[in-house]
């Protein structure tokens, strides 16, 4: 188990390195696969031995080998956190796939949670949930449910129907909330990306998991805003990246399962 944990951690750190590329290049409309990584200051190509997740940052003392420009500490942090997210799938209890083999939980969890983590970072930094990622994650989620139906000979397609219904509800809920909010306040109150993110989460967690994710997102965002205003870190009517809370909530429901949060909702702790 320890060796498998380490193996997953290394894979996760490598995925985290790719996430760093995505969050750096996607906002400036650059390809995420070409050209190879280079220093943004001196444009020197980064050698493979200087591109090892986490390790290279410390070996280089957080600086470019060529021009000595500082490399942000966020790079190894993203890699480390992604590694931990991947490893946690060993212990995840996603209710929708609770009866499936552990390889399903691990594989699906890696895809789902790294997508959510990437979106959370982009929303935090740029208030942006790229359509290419949200729709791509939605397609992955629906395909995953169809795969489970087929390998289990569930030709009633229960998983597929559940996730499709959840995706439709998630998108519709935030779309209507956005339209109603705009009518009342005469300005957008929910971004269009949140509706697509909600649909993505529904495609992986099903209807019950989506409900809980939305509930948890509003609760956590509300607490964040209240404390932010108390400590004068957030101003009245200030925009917050709600996608961060939605993504975080989706991950928590995946890792801990529905039952934990249902107990909280119905005060059955």
Per-residue pLDDT, 110:
97
Per-residue pLDDT, 269:
46
Per-residue pLDDT, 247:
98
Per-residue pLDDT, 151:
94
**Cis peptide upstream of residue 35 (ω within 30 degrees of 0):** yes
Supply angle C-alpha 167, 173, 174, rounded to 5: 100
The Cα–Cα gap between 36 and 20 comes to 13
Tell me which long-range contacts 63-66 makes (C-beta under 8 A, separation of at least 24). Answer: 64/39, 66/39, 66/42
Per-residue pLDDT, 268:
52
The pLDDT tens digits of the residues spanning 25-44 come to 999 999 988 888 888 888 88
Q: Do the Cβ atoms of 53 and 16 come closer than 8 Å? A: yes
- Domain range summary for the chain, segments of one domain joined by +: 1-91, 92-269
Low-confidence ranges of the chain (pLDDT < 70): 268-269
Per-residue pLDDT, 185:
80
Output the CA–CA distances (angstroms, integers) from residue 190 to 85, 95, 121, 178, in the order listed.
28, 28, 18, 5
Per-residue pLDDT, 54:
96
Output the pTM of the full model: 0.95
Per-residue pLDDT, 192:
85
In angstroms and rounded to an integer, the radius of gyration of the C-alpha atoms of the chain is 20
């Amino acid at each position: 188990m320890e060796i498998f944990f380490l193996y997953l951690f290394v894979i996760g750190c490598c995925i985290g390195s790719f996430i760093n590329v995505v969050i750096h290049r996607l906002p400036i409309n650059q390809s995420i696969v070409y050209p190879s990584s280079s220093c943004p200051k001196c444009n020197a190509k980064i050698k493979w031995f200087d591109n090892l997740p986490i390790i290279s940052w410390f070996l280089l003392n957080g600086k470019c080998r060529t021009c000595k420009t500082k490399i942000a500490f966020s790079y190894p942090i993203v890699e480390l956190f992604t590694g931990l997210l991947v490893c946690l799938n060993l212990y995840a209890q996603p209710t929708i796939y609770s009866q499936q083999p552990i390889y399903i939980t691990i594989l699906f969890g890696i895809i789902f949670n790294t997508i959510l983590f990437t979106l959370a970072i982009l929303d935090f930094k740029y208030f942006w949930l790229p359509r290419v990622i949200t729709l791509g994650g939605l397609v992955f989620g629906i395909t995953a449910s169809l795969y489970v139906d087929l390998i289990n000979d569930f030709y009633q397609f229960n998983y597929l129907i559940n996730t499709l219904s959840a995706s439709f509800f998630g998108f519709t809920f935030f779309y209507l909330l956005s339209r109603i909010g705009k009518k009342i306040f005469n300005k957008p109150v929910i971004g269009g990306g949140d509706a697509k993110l909600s649909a993505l989460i529904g495609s992986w967690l099903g209807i019950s998991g989506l409900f809980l994710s939305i509930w948890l997102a509003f609760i956590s965002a509300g607490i964040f805003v209240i404390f932010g205003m108390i400590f004068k870190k957030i101003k009245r009517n200030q925009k917050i990246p709600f996608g961060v809370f939605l993504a975080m909530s989706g991950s928590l429901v995946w890792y801990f399962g529905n039952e934990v949060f249902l107990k909280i909702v119905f005060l059955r702790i």
